[in-house]
Amino acid sequence: MKKYWHVLNVGIQNNLTYRFNFLARAVFGLIPLIAMLYVWQKIYSGKGAGSTVGAYSLGGMISYYLLTTVVDALTAVNEDDWQIAADIKDGNISQFLLKPIDYLWYRLCLFLSGRVTYLAVAVIPLTLFILYLRQYFMLPPNWTVFGAFLLSTALTALLQFFTSYAMAMLAFWVLEVSTFIFILFAFEYLASGHLFPLDILPRGLEQALYFTPFPYQLYFPVSIYMGKTTGADMIRGLLIQGLWVIAAYAVARFAWRRGIKKYSAVGG
Amino acid sequence: MRSEIRNPKAEDPDATTHHTPRTLPRLSRLTHHASRYLSVYAALWKNSVAREMSFKSNFLLWILVEVLWFGLQLSFISVLYLHTEHIGTWTKWQVVLLIGGSHFIQQVFQAFFLVNCTNLSELIRTGKLDFLLLLPVNTRFLVSLRQVDLGAFVNASFAVAVMAYAARQLHLVPTLVQLLGFLALCVLGIAIHYSLMFLLASISFWTVRAQGIVWGYYNLFNIARMPDEAFRGLFKAVFTFALPMLLVSNVPVRLLADKLNSPAPLVLLVVMSVVCFSVSEWGWRASMRRYTSASS
């Protein structure tokens, strides 16, 4: 356990050298978000005062986007999948086959350290932005909900990481994995609630999405926080989310095992 | 938010060049000059085609990636219009036309310039720029146009198809003047994207981290495809007069969709493209003076 703690530490220190990059990313990332909020504002003002879209008032809609930004900052993979793929392609994983350290846990530590560092930097622009819009930023209804939100966010982070890890395993078989990663990312972007809250979709479509892991990659924790998913639905959702995490983990492990058999340590 | 890192294609070396004879009368020297640059550019094209064709499946996959992201933008708009009839004065099919137009501009920009802009920091870091400086051709020309992204032309044609469909839905029959005007304005829009991104890429002369900044610019494409009427205040001012994202595709599409109420936006787009290009040329020259090769 101690060695992974060490990896986490080194990871944080490494990532800190990129603090300026992280800050730039956090600030640049706010620009499309602001643009999106302007578009919604225009839509609401065109519909007249007190109008709603689905179940959302203008304030609710702005809250939604602020929350997705927070959850995204907490859980999104940064460059982990590229790095893992590069490690495989360049033969850097050879050393992990010899050392008493597990590559998957090693990468998970680096992912967590990346999130911690990113958050430490992004917290400044994000907080300022949320304070500016504080009249729209709602607090969770109670502590239980907040606890469930945190749990679900943690599961989201794990799901994001294991999915990316499994995707990066493709590097054992193909030269360039980025196309595959972007194809999956496009679906995730649309179906996980990045662009719009999923419950403004027609009912059938929204239901169908719940058969995929995508809503659990962003939308689900936000819906808990906003009090849209409660009680038995929430518990069931958390369980399903947990199952998706386990499934993604299993695929990641399986792909690694198959990959290693084929691996010939080019340039290692 | 994860950055949209696209297509960091492999560095390629040399381009062929010809030598200019020393004395020639002025006019013929000019035409000679032009034909020389054309033949250099033809050679660069040949290189690019050869490179793309050596990774065929990858070439097709990148096209698929862009098609998916384009489809994603369009589905987003159809979801928005499930809940509203218009955004400002923009109706659904007008916004589809806007997204198509914006995608067209972005893809043509990508075809000619994107990879080259992002590769500049690599050229500096590895010292390969020395080699380009020694060639008897304008260095900015070479740096900006070394590689051509052929897949982007395919995607640009999809954008045109979507625009044609949207125009049909709107019962638009653009006149020849409108079409030519639209194309001319697209060229100005592309010039703005190119100038700004090249200016950002020139920051690489100061810091090796510039690649992140260049990719940050990619986020701004998101703004270019949104209807201008949604924006107000400082945001609108910044993205009209400093980084004119709200002009690059909105103005050409407004011309096409008969949505121009006055010639003012046209004039503004022309002026801003000239300003952006001049600033980027000034920035490039200032950067070049700083250059002290990384190699040897």
A239 part of a folded domain: yes
> What SS3 state is found at A89?
helix
Chain B residues with beta carbon closer than 8 angstroms to that of A201: 79
Q: How far is B212 from chain A (nearest CA, A)?
A: 6
Residue B69 lies in a domain: yes
Q: Which of these ranges, B24-38, B130-144, B201-215, B245-259, has the smallest mean pLDDT?
A: B201-215
Inform me whether the C-beta atom of residue A54 falls under 8 Å from chain B C-beta atoms: yes
Residue type, A109: C
A266 CB contacts (<8 Å, ≥6 apart)? Answer: A89, A91
Q: Which residues of B touch A74 (CB under 8 A)?
A: none
Say yes or no for a CB contact (<8 Å) between A21 and B229: no
Chain A residues touching B77 at Cβ < 8 A? none
Instruction: Looking at the complex, report in whole angstroms how far the Cα of residue B1 sits from the nearest Cα belonging to chain A.
Output: 6
The number of folded domains in chain B is 1
The rounded distance, in Å, linking the Cα atoms of B147 and B150 is 9
The answer for A 209-248 residues in CB contact with B (under 8 A) is none
Tell me if chain B has a CB within 8 Å of the CB of A205. no
State pTM to two decimals. Answer: 0.88
- pLDDT, residue B66, reads 94
Distance from A99 to chain B by nearest Cα, in Å? 32
What's the pLDDT at B64?
95
Q: Is residue B24 part of a domain?
A: no
Chain B contact for A137 (CB, 8 A cutoff): no
Q: A268 lies in a domain?
A: no
Band of pLDDT at residue B126, cut at 50, 70 and 90: confident
Secondary structure percentages of chain B, helix, strand, coil, to 5: 75, 0, 25
CA atoms of A94 and A260, how far apart (whole Å): 10
Say how far apart CA B84 and CA B80 lie, in whole Å.
7
Q: What is the distance between the alpha carbons of residues B76 and B222, in angstroms, rounded to a whole number?
A: 12
Lowest average pLDDT, out of A65-74, A194-203, B22-31, B138-147, goes to B22-31
In a domain, B150, yes or no: yes
DSSP string, B73-118: HHHHHHHHTTS-SEETTEEHHHHHHHHHHHHHHHHHHIIIIIHHHH
- Spatial CA neighbour of B91 closest among B100, B78, B101, B103: B78
Nearest to A200 among B79, B86, B209 (CB): B79
Q: Does residue B8 fall inside a structural domain?
A: no
The pLDDT, as a whole number, for residue B67 is 96
Q: Please judge whether A180 and B220 are an interchain contact, meaning their C-beta atoms are less than 8 angstroms apart.
A: no
Q: Which of A213-227, B41-55, B163-177 has the lowest mean pLDDT?
A: B41-55
**A-chain residues near B68 (CB < 8 A):** 182-183, 186-187
Nearest to A47 among B84, B230, B235 (CB): B84
pLDDT (mean) for A116-121 = 90
> Does residue B186 contact residue B104 with C-beta atoms inside 8 Å?
yes
Q: What pLDDT is stored for residue B55 in this prediction?
A: 80
User: Is A267 part of a structural domain of the chain?
Assistant: no
Task: Give the orientation angle of helix A143-168 with respect to helix A231-262, to 10 degrees.
Answer: 20
Cβ(A228)–Cβ(A220) below 8 Å:
no
> How does pLDDT run across A24-66, given as a tens digit for each residue?
888 888 999 999 999 999 999 998 878 899 889 999 999 999 9
Is residue B46 in some structural domain?
Answer: yes
* Token reading at A117: 């560092």
Smallest Cα distance from B66 to chain A, Å: 9
CA distance A135 to B44: 56
Q: Is A78 on the interface with B (CB under 8 A)?
A: yes
Closest partner residue to A21 among B87, B212, B227, by Cβ?
B212
For A238-255, how does the pLDDT look when each residue is reduced to its tens digit (9 = 90+)?
A: 999 999 999 999 999 999
ipTM value? 0.89
SS3 A56: strand
B interface with A, Cβ–Cβ below 8 Å: 1-3, 5-7, 55, 58, 61-62, 64-65, 68-69, 72, 75-76, 79-80, 82-88, 209, 212-213, 216, 219-220, 222-223, 226-227, 229-232, 235
Q: From the list B2, B6, B80, which residue is nearest A76 (CB)?
A: B2
Which range of residues forms the domain containing residue B99? 33-290
* Residue B223 to residue B209: CA distance in whole angstroms: 24
pLDDT over threshold 60, residue A165: yes
Q: Is the pLDDT of residue A68 over 50?
A: yes
CA gap A147, A155 in Å, rounded: 12
Tally the C-alpha atoms within 13 A of residue A94's C-alpha that lie toward its C-beta. 10
Domain count, chain A: 1
- Domain span at residue A179? 2-262
SS3 A213: coil
